Amino acid sequence: MMKRAIGKDEHTRAVLQQTVQNIGLYIILTCVAIITVFPFLWVFFTSFKGPTDAIYSVPPQLIPHEPTFANYIRVWNFLPVGRFFINSIVVTMSVVVLNTLFTSLAAYPLAKMKFKGSNTIFYLLLVTYIIPSALTAIPSYILAVRVFHYYDHIQAAILPYLATVFNIFLLRQAYKGVPDDLIDAGHVDGANEFRIWWNIVIPIIRPSLATVAIITFVEQWNNFFWPSLVLPTMTNKTLQVGLVALQGAFVSDARGTAAGVVMTVVPMIIFFLLLQKQFIRGLTGAVKG
Amino acid sequence: MSKKFSLTPYLFLTPALVVVAIFVLYPIFAVLYYSFTDYSIVTPPVWVGMKNYSWLIHDPIFWKSLGHSFIYLLVTPILIVLSVILAIVVNRKLPGIHAFRALFFIPVISGSIAVGIAWRLMLDRNGIINALLLSVGILKEPMQWLAEPSLTLPFCMALTIWLGVGYYMMIFLAGMQNIPEELYDSAMLDGCNSWQKHWFITISGLRPQITFVAVISSLAALQVFNEVFTITGGLGGLLQSAYTVVFYLWQQAFRLSHAGKASAIAMVLLLITLAFSMINIRLLERGTEAD
Amino acid sequence: MHKKLLILLLLVSILVTGCATATTQAPAATSIPPTPQTIILTSAPQTIIETVISEVVVTATPAPNPEAVIQGVEADAEIGFWTFWLSPTFDQYIKDTIARFNQAYPGVTVNWEDHQATFQDDLKASFAAGNAPDVINLSVSEGWVSDYASQGLLLSLDELVPQSVKDLYFPGLWNEQLIDGVNYQFPWYQGINVYLINHQLYDQTGLTIDDFPKNWTELPALCATIKEKTGTLCDIRLTVNDLISQMVYEGNVKPISDDGTSFTFDSAEAVAWLQQYVDMVTAGTVDKTVLVTDQDRVGLDLFTSGQAAFYATGPNLIREVRANNPGLYGYLGVVPAPVGKSGVIGKGLMSLSINAQTEYPNASIALAQFFTNPRSMLEFSKIVSIYPSTPDSYADPFFSAAPVAIEDSAKPFAEDAISKYADIVPTIPHKADVNAILLRYVQDALFNNVPAQQALTDAVAEANLLLP
């Protein structure tokens, strides 16, 4: 790598240019940060305003004069927010664990085994990949109400998501990266397929499993359309559905709505901040450079 | 290696295949059937042949919804441009840069429902947007932002963009780590200025990510529901200004109990996503071939 | 090894908790009320009532219970009973009435559930699943009875209920929401259409309570004054799920031709009705979101939060206002609702209907009749400002006592008003779809500068396609 020798003046100029550039970048970053954070800030402060603290005034007054927890207490007493969280956690964790298990099982033979019908199944899955989720809603609903009778039960939000084709394909790609020698070595040792899969292959594709788990986690946590159809009773609702119910119950009560939003968002933000690296690695790991 | 018949592959596949068969395959056939019936879910379906489809063709609201869904695709290029620029900006070792990155990711984590409700609060007649615009003098009296038909869909789209920038920025950021430093350095030797250099090299290097983001973003845009639902409070906006295909489907099936008509809409949606997915597969194939 | 066990353990624990929560999630036969509202006000009216009235005494008769007027009630019947938005405030009343019901009809088990915002969704799902309740509380004012009856889901009552029982009700209320002349509901508690006034805002206009419009056509002028003097918008709601009905009552519109072959809601009266709303939207004097919302609560909450000068509702919802905004309660005023051009001041509010597929028709009819009999409704009236659908209830001194709290201000003229309630809307085929079409065109006229006449003519043309 050839480097030209640079004189002292040029060096100072370069440093100055860099600093100016940096300041410019920080300004851009701060502007974007403000746009990003402003709604949260406003909602956060609004949630602490008492009845005498105006939400709407010209010029606007962001910080409450007499902050109070009354709105949070009101919302907590009126709606089972704790239950919303529990339901969401149960649904999300069940789906994450079982979906990852089922799809990692299913993707393996598609990547590493030869068997009759493997092509048919692969193309079948490819076909189902394009099915929009809204399409399956009507028959799924009828299944939930008429056939399986789990309408208004928490299984209704879990069962349809126990296997997603996207995850199967993602893991299939991951398996393809596993060298065949390792698997053959397992065969030579006399292990059955399941043990090879569990003991040898799974540890290798762990990063992709993490990706699948995290993608599924975020998807399920933020899922609204389907749970809103099958979880009508208040104590059965998941967080996102409960949040909409909250908004319906506090429709002209901006303070209460704000408190509800803060209550549901803050735990997730804290959770994310603690596990930042894993989250980001997982979500972006879906795209191979 | 023995070639005896083994049950194992099928055992591995069974759990996932059962779920897919029940919750994805069966519904396709069921919806196809329902699309030829008059079905209120409460009473048994009645065969009516092509009536739902001919109704659909003549239904101005359906075409409006379809148009809105296609207009919604505009978020994809906007998202890509904004996210790439942002990724370029944060892709440097400045102090505090990690804090900014995390901050930009927070909308993604909060979920479209919570954020949609927050936006709705802000855009209320007594919300902060009115307060700000009034104090600066841009407005003379508060506006009902969400009661302006021409603004409803743009607000939903803005929400989608606001929610997505952080996520896609991270994807591009990860992709940029794979672009070899040499490319940038040799460009510097050639005398290109900073922006030209970044533009050409970065964009070319990010091609797989851009393709990926374009595909998932556009598929999501065609099927948008959450943003429309929260911003319009479940009503789709005055004059159906924010009706999208999935919203109209939901309304027909679960508000008006016209599951037959909704199924016809679903079949049309299927055709559209089929077309887009074929483009998807084509592009991915081309991407992997280039590797 | 450890990892394997850990993951297995995690899996199992998730499954177990999931299943456990799932089984405990099963909807109980009796309602699980959501965590109650913070302030539930029933005290003020109750205390006043206790000092004024004397107890209604049912003369004890030796043999049959006087309230057991339905014959042939099935032995060991078990019936489901759904109410709409009555829990938790009225839990005690419902339970007490069910207990009294069991004294009159021993051996009938009643499984009571209350549903709120998701009532319609739950009901439709239960019909689809085949386990809909036997006795259902439906809103007459929102048009639910004719919706479900026209799909064949409700039991027709004219044949099955003895004339002596039918005569217990105001005739205008028994004959509501008829489908081809047949009645499907027991009229239950009624409301009086009043306008709640927020004196804090209203007084700023310089008008007095007596100046409040008596006729519906005078409202736009009031809204203009309110906007000018207070800067707030009018809190007026179109019943978007039943615009035809609103047109008939407010605008005296005839919606369908006598022979039922063509819709006629593009007449001069209809245009005048629509034009009034168009003018208010153009003048910017109404809250556009409330105007076309499908939730009554949206309009009510706007008033409760102190942002509107008046709101059309019933005295029974004053308790909601008081619970959610105690500060506003002291500034409340009540006026009778302005009358529409039809001259008919109102129609029924709530009813009890029977599931057409019920296994226990007589037991179900008995329960519906019991809750709507004079004594049950009188007791209900004593705890909240609703009014009975039976003339006999009004004989009680409770109704002739002078009103004290603002919730009671409609009491003196309640009987007279309710006796005049009538359902003047003819049977409309495909009512839900016609209303959906009409709503679309009405929105075009309101927000899209389409002339009212053209919008209505186009709506009629499209609606006529639904007729055979």
Residue-wise pLDDT for C372-426, tens only, equals 999 999 999 999 888 999 999 999 999 888 888 888 888 888 888 888 888 888 8
Contact present, A92 and A83 (Cβ < 8 Å): no
Residue C39 located in a structural domain = no
Residue C55 has pLDDT above 80, yes or no: no
DSSP codes joined into one string, C134-154: SEEEEETTTTHHHHHHHTT-B
The verdict on residue C66 lying in a domain is no
Asked whether the beta carbons of residue C307 and residue B126 sit closer than 8 angstroms, the reply is: yes
Last residue of a domain, one of C386, C402, C419: C419
Query: Which residues in C lie closer than 8 A to residue A97 (C-beta atoms)?
Result: 10-11, 14
- Out of A36, A118, A224, the one facing B107 most closely (by C-beta) is A36
* A149 has a chain C CB within 8 A of its CB: yes
Whole-number pLDDT of residue C1: 43
pLDDT of residue C364: 94
Second CATH level (architecture) for the domain B59-113+149-257: Orthogonal Bundle (1.10)
CB C134 within 8 A of CB C352: no
Residue C46 has what pLDDT? 39
Among B239, B243, B261, pick the best mutation site for testing chain C contact (most C Cβ within 10 A). B239
CB contact under 8 A, B238 and C287: no
Give the integer Cα–Cα distance in Å for C459 and C442: 9
> Which pLDDT band holds residue A131 (cuts at 50, 70, 90)?
confident
* pLDDT attached to residue C439: 93
Domain residue ranges of chain A, discontinuous segments joined by +: 8-68, 74-284
Going from the C-alpha of C380 to that of each of C46, C189, C320, the distances in angstroms are 11, 8, 17
Same domain? For C175 and C123 the reply is: yes
Q: Are residues C122 and C254 in the same domain?
A: no
Residues of chain C positioned with their CB less than 8 A from the CB of B149: 447-448
- Any chain B CB within 8 A of the CB of C432? yes
Query: Subunits that touch chain C (at least 3 Cβ pairs < 8 angstroms)?
Result: A, B
In the structure, what pLDDT confidence band is assigned to residue C301 with cuts at 50, 70 and 90?
Answer: confident
The whole-model pTM stands at: 0.84
One domain for residues C184 and C220: no
Q: Choose the closest CB to B144 out of C289, C432, C433.
A: C289
Return the half-sphere exposure (C-beta side, CA atoms, 13 A cut-off) of residue C300.
21
Residue C8 has a pLDDT of: 45
In angstroms, the separation between the Cα of residue A7 and the nearest Cα of chain B is 18
- Fold of the domain spanning A74-284: MetI-like fold (1.10.3720)
Domain that holds residue C84: 74-191+348-419
Does residue C22 register a pLDDT over 90?
no
- B127 vs A contacts (CB less than 8 Å): 56, 254
Asked whether residue C234 falls in the same domain as residue C254, the answer is yes
Give the pLDDT confidence score for residue A21 in this predicted structure: 83
Q: Residue C399's domain is classified under what CATH number?
A: 3.40.190.10
For chain A positions 89-148, those within 8 Å of chain B (CB to CB) are 101-103, 105-106, 108-110, 113, 115, 118, 121, 124-126, 128-143, 145
Are B235 and C121 a contacting pair at CB < 8 A?
no
Residues B117, A109: C-beta atoms closer than 8 Å: no
The DSSP call for residue A154 is T
Q: DSSP code of A269?
A: H
Sign of the Cα torsion A53, A55, A61, A62 reads positive
Q: What angle do CA C329, B123, A75 make, to 5 degrees?
A: 50
- Cβ contact, residue pair C118, A232, below 8 Å: yes
Q: Do C304 and A252 touch (CB under 8 A)?
A: yes
Residues with Cβ < 8 Å from A51, sequence gap 6 or more?
Answer: A255, C327
Does B181 or C275 have the greater pLDDT score? C275
- ipTM, two decimals, is 0.87
Mean pLDDT of all residues in A262-276: 90
Q: Is A247 on the interface with B (CB under 8 A)?
A: yes
**What is residue C102's predicted lDDT score, i.e. its pLDDT?**
93
Q: Please say if the pLDDT value at position C221 is more than 60.
A: yes
The minimal CB distance from A251 to the residues C37, C115, C298 is found for C298
Pairing of strands C78-84, B37-38: unpaired
d(CA C39, CA C325): 10
Closest residue in A to B234 (Cα–Cα): A244
User: Measured between CB atoms, which of B43, B144, B235 is closest to C151?
Assistant: B43
Of residues A272 and A281, the one with the higher pLDDT is A272
- List the single best residue of C5, C6, C10, C25 to mutate versus A (max A Cβ within 10 A): C25
Closest Cβ opposite residue C129 in set A79, A145, A249? A145
Question: Between chains, do A240 and B266 touch, taking CB under 8 Å as contact?
Answer: no
State the amino acid at position C73 in one-letter form: V
Q: Is the pLDDT of residue C6 over 60?
A: no
* Cα–Cα distance for residue pair C161/C70, rounded to 1 Å: 8
Alpha-carbon span A91 to A24, nearest angstrom: 45
Separation of alpha carbons C317 and C320, rounded Å: 5
Side-chain-side CA neighbours of C403 within 13 Å: the count stands at 13
Check C25 against A142: CB less than 8 A apart: no
- Read off the pLDDT of residues C138-167 as tens digits, 9 standing for 90 and up: 998 888 898 899 889 999 999 999 999 999
Contact predicate B202/B88, CB 8 Å:
yes
Q: pLDDT by residue (tens digit) across C416-457?
A: 888 888 888 888 888 888 998 999 999 999 999 999 999 999
Nearest chain C CA: its distance from A233 CA (Å): 8
Distance from CA of C463 to the nearest CA of A (A): 27
Q: How many Cβ atoms sit within 10 Å of the Cβ of residue B67?
A: 14
Tally of residues, chain A = 289
Query: pLDDT per position in chain B (291 positions), as tens?
Result: 455 678 888 999 999 999 999 999 999 999 999 999 999 888 889 999 999 999 999 999 999 999 999 999 999 999 999 999 899 888 888 888 888 888 998 898 898 999 999 999 999 888 899 999 998 888 888 888 988 899 999 999 999 999 999 889 988 888 888 787 777 777 666 665 666 776 778 888 888 888 888 888 998 999 999 999 999 988 888 889 999 999 999 999 988 889 999 999 999 999 998 888 787 777 766 655 544
Coil, helix or strand at residue C179: strand
Torsion of the alpha carbons at B1, B5, B11 and B13, rounded to the nearest 10: 80
Q: Are strands C78-84 and C109-115 parallel, antiparallel or unpaired?
A: parallel
- Sort out which chain C residues have CB atoms less than 8 A from A79's CB and list them: 34-35
Whole-Å CA distances, A103 to A151, A170, B13, C449: 25, 9, 8, 54
Q: Which of C25, C305, C324 sits opposite A236 (nearest CB)?
A: C25
For residue C33, pLDDT beyond 70: no
- Quote the pLDDT of residue A195: 87
pLDDT attached to residue C13: 44
pLDDT tens track for C236-249: 999 888 899 999 99
Angstroms from A39 CA to nearest CA on chain B = 7
Based on the domain organization, do C403 and C331 belong to the same domain?
no
The percentage of residues in chain A with a pLDDT greater than 90, rounded to a whole number, is 46
- Please indicate, yes or no, whether residues C114 and C154 belong to a single structural domain of this protein: yes
**pLDDT at residue number A43:** 94
B258: phi then psi, degrees, rounded to nearest 5: -105, 75
Q: What is the pLDDT of residue C210?
A: 87
Task: Identify the pLDDT of residue A226.
Answer: 95
- Å between A103 CA and nearest CA of chain B: 6
In this structure, is residue C62 part of a structural domain? no
Mean pLDDT of A262-271: 91
From B67-71, B216-220, C5-9, C18-22, the region with the lowest mean pLDDT: C18-22
Q: Which residues on A lie below 8 Å from B132 (Cβ)?
A: 60
Residue A227 has pLDDT above 90, yes or no: yes
Side-by-side strand order, sheet with C194-198: C310-313, C194-198, C332-336
Cα(B213)–Cα(C411) distance, integer angstroms: 65
Give the per-residue pLDDT at B59.
92
Distance from the B216 Cα atom to the nearest Cα atom in chain A, whole angstroms: 11
Q: Which two tokens stand for residue C361?
A: 């028709």
Of A170-174, A223-227, C35-39, C94-98, which range is least confident? C35-39
Smallest Cβ distance to C436: which of B42, B254, B256?
A: B256
Residue C23 has pLDDT above 50, yes or no: no
Q: What is the pLDDT of residue A281?
A: 75
Q: Which residues of A touch C129 (CB under 8 A)?
A: 145-146, 149, 151
More confident: A18 or A48: A48
> Closest Cα of chain A to C336: distance in Å?
25
Nearest CA to CA, how far is B29 from chain C (Å)?
20
What was the pLDDT predicted at C56? 63
Residue C20 confidence class, pLDDT cut points 50, 70, 90: very low
* Segment A134-159, tens digit of pLDDT: 899 999 999 999 899 999 899 999 99
Does C357 touch chain B if contact means CB atoms closer than 8 Å? no
- Which residue in A114, A148, A170, A284 has the most chain B C-beta atoms within 10 A of its own C-beta, making it the best mutation to test that interface? A284
**C61 touches A at CB < 8 Å:** no
How many contiguous H segments (helices) and E segments (strands) does chain A have? 15, 0
Which positions 83-112 of A are in contact with C (Cβ < 8 Å)? 86-87, 90, 93-94, 97-98, 101
C452 touches chain B (CB under 8 A): no
How far is Cα C252 from Cα C342, in angstroms, rounded to an integer?
4
* CB neighbours of residue C46 within 10 Å: 12
Instruction: List Cα–Cα distances, B202 to B88, B90, B168, in angstroms.
Output: 8, 13, 15
pLDDT, residue C27, reads 35
Separation of alpha carbons C243 and A198, rounded Å: 63
- Which of B24, B140, B178 is best to mutate for the A interface (most A CBs within 10 A)? B24
Residue B195 Cα distances to B203, C63, C287, angstroms: 12, 98, 50
Mean pLDDT of chain C: 83
